[in-house]
Amino acid sequence: MNTLPEEKIVVEEKIVIDVDEIYAAEVDAADLGRTITATLLAEERLEGEVTLLVTSDEEVAAYNQQYRGVEGPTDVLSFAAQEPTPGFVSAPEMACYLGDIVIALPFTRRQAAALGRPLAHELRLLAVHGTLHLLGYDHAEPEEEAAMWARQDAILAGLADGAPAVAH
């Protein structure tokens, strides 16, 4: 679907960050890789492998429609590789692959501006959020949401530059 060249960064050979070339100047791919690594470390899942794609609203809207039946873009989508699918058996070499995270950069840029947050902090939040989804966290119920938000805030607070806890 996406025909634009991408910047590809591999962090510790387990985390792949793909950024559409048009957004490369706005995204610190290495920082996002460190953020995902910090999340996996906090959850004691260092063996986990993750791919993160930073792309357009249009691309995310297409995924949102195809996989969730929801029109329009959203900030982040997560596609867990380890969710059980009836009749499907994952290859043994994929046991560590947690899945894919897709972030819509234009949507995220607008969201960060509306919330008065730097884009880099919003991207970190979404990287943590997406990774937690890959690890089984959800926020469909109030109790789940409280647990997920608490983990997000704790992980973000532990990042090197002291990115503040965020209002959800």
The 8-class DSSP code of residue 66 comes to I
> Which residues, other chains included, contact 15 with Cβ-Cβ below 8 Å and sequence gap of 6+?
33, 36, 37, 49, 50, 51, 52
User: Band of the pLDDT at 159, cuts 50, 70, 90?
Assistant: confident
Q: Which domains does the chain have, with CATH numbers?
A: 6-157 (3.40.390.30)
The rounded distance, in Å, linking the Cα atoms of 123 and 52 is 11
Q: Write b or e for each residue in 33-71: b if 16 or more Cβ atoms lie within 10 A of its Cβ, otherwise e.
A: bbbbbbbbebbeeeebbbbbbbbbbebbbebbeeeeeee
Q: What is the pLDDT of residues 41-95, one digit of tens each?
A: 999 998 889 999 999 999 999 999 999 999 999 999 999 987 655 555 555 555 5
> Taking the model in full, what pTM does it have?
0.84
Q: What is the mean pLDDT of the chain?
A: 86
